[in-house]
Amino acid sequence: MKILKICDKIIEYSFYLILFLVPLAVSSKTFELFEFNKMWLTFGLTIILGASWFTKMIFQKRIFIQRTPLDIPIMLFLLSQIISTIFSLDSHISFWGYYSRFNGGLLSTLTYIFIYYAFVSNLNGIKFVKRAIIISLSSAVIVALWGFPSHFGYDPTCYAFRGTFDVSCWTDAFQPRARIFSTLGQPDWLASYLAIMIPVSAALFLINFKVKKKDNGELSISRKTFLLSIGFLLFSVLFYIDLLYTGSRSVFAASIISLVVLVLGYILIIQKKVALKFLSLAIFILLIILSTFFVGTPVSGLNKFSYQEVTKIFIKQKAAAPVAPVNPADKPNKITGEMGGTDSGKIRSFVWQGAINIWRANPIFGTGVETFAFAYYKHKPPGHNLTSEWDYLYNKAHNEYLNYLATTGVLGLGSYLLIIAWFLKSFFTKRHLGFYLSFIKKVEDLIHRFPEQENQILILGLLSGYISILIGNFFGFSVVITNIYFFLIPAFIYVLRNNLEKSRALVFPKNVKDPGQIKISSGQWVGATITGIISLYLILLLYQFWTADKAYALGYNLDRVNQYQEAYPLLVDAVSRRDGEPVFRGELAVNTAVLASAFYMQKDSSTGAKLAQEAIDLNNKVISEHPNNLIFWKDRVRIFYTLSQVDKQYLPVALTAIIKASELAPTDAKVTYNLGLLYGQSDDPQKAVAALEKTVNLKRDYRDAYYALGLYYRTLAVDKNGQVINPEYAQKAKGAMNFILQNINENDTQAKDALKSWGML
């Protein structure tokens, strides 16, 4: 039936488009340039393939869903995500995902699982898997070539965004010359993606590099596949070099382990023909070693064996330049002893401890899918305040497994690990790929267990890529494209191994006529039409959300450069297009409060009052619907503090909001610092001192907190005429300023001026 063939083609090419376009999707107009666009493209293409699949089943007059070995763990995992969303601290975030990325929310999980079943139910054929792999590699080549020149200061993204073939479109803290990120948006994400592709491309090289033995005993290379094999080899090397340029230590280690799995597995598969097949393996290993030698690695300890370091041994070093005297102002912090950024491992250890603390408080279902961003504040280790990223927002635990543990509890993590264990189990039993258990075990029967040895090698490459995901996720977290492969690689392998029996599929009704004999009724056309209309509506909703995000992004950026009037209509447009998104309403509320304050100062009280009430109403709605979100409480503090500058009646509300924020983030030094300031402005210096003392205990190098504490100590020490009435507080005020000068910055002019004005210097 022609209509069924059309549906099959749409399904097939929707998959190919997902694998090809998602890694490339990027836009300069959205709030988040990379992940948001990849997620939205995935949603859109999934709607299209889903509509085609449902239409196909309508015309076939049957429901067909292929069962797989992972059905039980996947359903348990999905159930855990649904339950966690229901009992979440914020169900909106749990359903959609953390704003801007959205990957990891319940909706994205449903999408990935749907993609998995759509593939095995409609593309259960080796040819489809091989096409999907080739298309995946084609996209990866573009990604790798796109990112490669940015290491040398020539970024195609800047050319696309601004028309300049350089790296000027990125900030100093986000420089591809230091760590490339291509179209993935972050070095570790690019590395994770490439780590999947390297062993797959290498496997195709090993498959196509065919060496034959002539009758005279000489070896010859098959001309038919030689150029193809060289292409796959070059792709592998390109991916690996780009991975080195990302500077990702964790993914580099994951990639090396995955390649070790590939090499050992390949040796065992070809054990009886090592003499003929080992040449291709030797070439691959040699090129990987040479690439590592000339480029260097993200692991500094290994770089002593790199070309750059080795050549220093043979080149006469120039005389050392005289050392310039050290400026006292440039001395490292005397408390933390750190210059520059804190080591990422140290920061990660605090975040991991926070994740464990969250889980201990919410052991079964966690705090809710994707709620780590504000759940972490409640359980943040105080030591995190002494790192260079002490005031950063962490919306992930930087460990996929701990992230699931914290946000979805033992049920979520347990079911996620069950998916992995259930899938890997078949590769570590005698029945399937016993060669991974031991070099000693006999593996002759493997040749008979699979239709082709080439499939074994391809499966090995896919398995190695999957292992790189598992290892990389231990030190990071998944993104859209890695989650897609997390679910699709098992589907690919099951198809290649012929593990999917149609007789075990979920079919209703079971007795169906031959497609050629089915007559399409008007009811079926109506069903197909309704399916199409629903799908079109969903795609329009996605587009509406995407355009709302564009308006929000521009308005947000204008707010950051104090162009509030220009930002206001854009934020109103974003809210009108997507009223259900609290992030839009939150930003509009802050913007409106600032405008209200400006109109009050311009003596336009009527406009100011109208805008002030609008800001309050917007924020009240956000807070009532999302009472556990610290970010929105911080917005409330800012809104009412801004309004209090023109009308003191708003200051108590700002104080109430910061007290609530301090309850949600009891160990956050910036929150307690602002609490102290608001107590002080509310004429309560005793409570201001208490809050600021807590602040400096949380963060011993917090200069602003010590300065404010000194001022409030002084307030308690003197009367209205400036006479000292409490010598103890006077000494404490002096001690706070001296602490700044002795331990933080000996040239701090404000601290010196304060001491001079008090007659203590």
Residue range 508-549, pLDDT digits in tens: 776 665 655 667 889 989 999 999 999 999 999 999 999 999
Q: Give me the number of domains the chain comprises.
A: 2
Q: Can you give the pLDDT at residue 440?
A: 35
Tokens coding 484: 């897609």
pLDDT at 187 over 80: yes
How many other β-carbons are positioned within 10 Å of the β-carbon of residue 725?
11
The answer to whether residues 211 and 276 touch, using CB atoms and an 8 Å cutoff, is yes
Burial class from Cβ neighbours inside 10 Å (0-12, 13-18, 19+) for residue 114 reads middle
- d(CA 535, CA 116) in angstroms, rounded, equals 19
- d(CA 394, CA 352) in angstroms, rounded, equals 11
**What residues have CB less than 8 Å from 144, skipping those under 6 apart?**
182, 194, 235, 238, 239, 242
Tokens coding 316: 């006469």
- Tokens 């996947």 belong to 74
**What residues have CB less than 8 Å from 704, skipping those under 6 apart?**
673
For strand 506-508 and strand 63-65, is the pairing parallel, antiparallel, or unpaired?
A: antiparallel
What's the DSSP call for residue 483?
H
Domain end, chosen from 469, 504, 539, is at 504
pLDDT at 366 over 90: yes
- Tokens 């065992």 belong to 268
- d(CA 340, CA 318) in angstroms, rounded, equals 28
The answer to whether residues 713 and 684 touch, using CB atoms and an 8 Å cutoff, is no
Q: What b-and-e string marks burial along 583-605, b requiring 16 or more CB atoms within 10 Å of the CB?
A: bbbbbbbbbbbbbbbbbbeeeee
Domain range holding 755? Answer: 668-761
Choose from 161-175, 303-317, 582-596 the range with maximum mean pLDDT.
Answer: 582-596
Tokens coding 290: 């040479």
The answer to whether residues 424 and 377 touch, using CB atoms and an 8 Å cutoff, is no
**What residues have CB less than 8 Å from 50, skipping those under 6 apart?**
114, 118, 535
The answer as to whether 379 is a domain residue is no
Q: Can you give the pLDDT at residue 450?
A: 40
- d(CA 639, CA 616) in angstroms, rounded, equals 8
Q: Can you give the pLDDT at residue 135?
A: 96
Q: Can you give the pLDDT at residue 313?
A: 67
Beta bridge partners of 213: 219
The three state secondary structure string of 245-257 is HHCCHHHHHHHHH
The answer to whether residues 348 and 85 touch, using CB atoms and an 8 Å cutoff, is no
pLDDT band with cut points at 50, 70 and 90 for residue 278: confident
Instruction: Using DSSP, state whether 71 is helix, strand or coil.
Output: helix
The answer as to whether 521 is a domain residue is no
Q: Which helix (H) or strand (E) holds 64?
A: strand 63-65
The closest of 540, 596, 544, 545 to 568, measured between CA atoms, is: 596
Range name among 166-175, 189-198, 367-376 with the lowest pLDDT average: 166-175
Instruction: Using DSSP, state whether 596 is helix, strand or coil.
Output: helix
Helix then strand count (H, E) for the chain reads 29, 4
The answer as to whether 240 is a domain residue is yes
The answer as to whether 603 is a domain residue is no
Mean pLDDT, range 713-732, rounded to an integer: 91
| Sign, Cα dihedral of 404, 487, 479, 576 | negative
Q: Which helix (H) or strand (E) holds 121?
A: helix 106-122
The answer to whether residues 736 and 709 touch, using CB atoms and an 8 Å cutoff, is yes
Domain end, chosen from 504, 522, 554, is at 504
Q: Can you give the pLDDT at residue 100?
A: 86
Q: Can you give the pLDDT at residue 341?
A: 67
Choose from 223-237, 334-348, 479-493 the range with maximum mean pLDDT.
Answer: 479-493
- d(CA 203, CA 281) in angstroms, rounded, equals 10
Share of the chain above pLDDT 70, in %: 89
Share of the chain above pLDDT 90, in %: 72
pLDDT at 674 over 60: yes
- d(CA 463, CA 442) in angstroms, rounded, equals 21
The answer as to whether 128 is a domain residue is yes
Domain end, chosen from 504, 531, 555, is at 504
Whichever domain contains 678, its CATH number is 1.25.40.10
Tokens coding 574: 């974003």
- d(CA 718, CA 707) in angstroms, rounded, equals 17
- d(CA 442, CA 440) in angstroms, rounded, equals 7
Burial class from Cβ neighbours inside 10 Å (0-12, 13-18, 19+) for residue 216 reads exposed
Check residues 722 and 491 and name the one with the higher pLDDT. Answer: 491
Residue range 240-249, pLDDT digits in tens: 999 999 999 9
The answer to whether residues 454 and 260 touch, using CB atoms and an 8 Å cutoff, is no
pLDDT at 123 over 50: yes
The answer to whether residues 43 and 115 touch, using CB atoms and an 8 Å cutoff, is no
Choose from 292-306, 448-462, 697-711 the range with maximum mean pLDDT.
Answer: 697-711
Average pLDDT, the chain: 88
The closest of 87, 108, 110, 86 to 98, measured between CA atoms, is: 108
* Cα end-to-end distance, the chain, whole Å: 94
Choose from 261-270, 716-725, 728-737 the range with maximum mean pLDDT.
Answer: 728-737
Instruction: Using DSSP, state whether 750 is helix, strand or coil.
Output: helix
Q: Can you give the pLDDT at residue 693?
A: 96
In degrees, rounded to 5, the angle at the alpha carbon of residue 633 between the alpha carbons of residues 628 and 635 is: 140
- d(CA 340, CA 87) in angstroms, rounded, equals 41
Q: Can you give the pLDDT at residue 326?
A: 45
pLDDT band with cut points at 50, 70 and 90 for residue 759: confident
What's at 494, amino acid-wise? Answer: Y
Burial class from Cβ neighbours inside 10 Å (0-12, 13-18, 19+) for residue 690 reads middle
Q: Can you give the pLDDT at residue 216?
A: 59
pLDDT at 320 over 80: no
- d(CA 116, CA 283) in angstroms, rounded, equals 35
Tokens coding 741: 């000068």
- Asked if the bond preceding 509 is cis, omega within 30° of 0, the reply is yes
The answer as to whether 295 is a domain residue is yes
The closest of 50, 52, 41 to 19, measured between CA atoms, is: 41
pLDDT at 446 over 50: no
Instruction: Using DSSP, state whether 508 is helix, strand or coil.
Output: strand
**String of DSSP letters for 203-246:** HHHHHH--EEE-TTS-EEE-HHHHHHHHHHHHHHHHHHHHHHHH
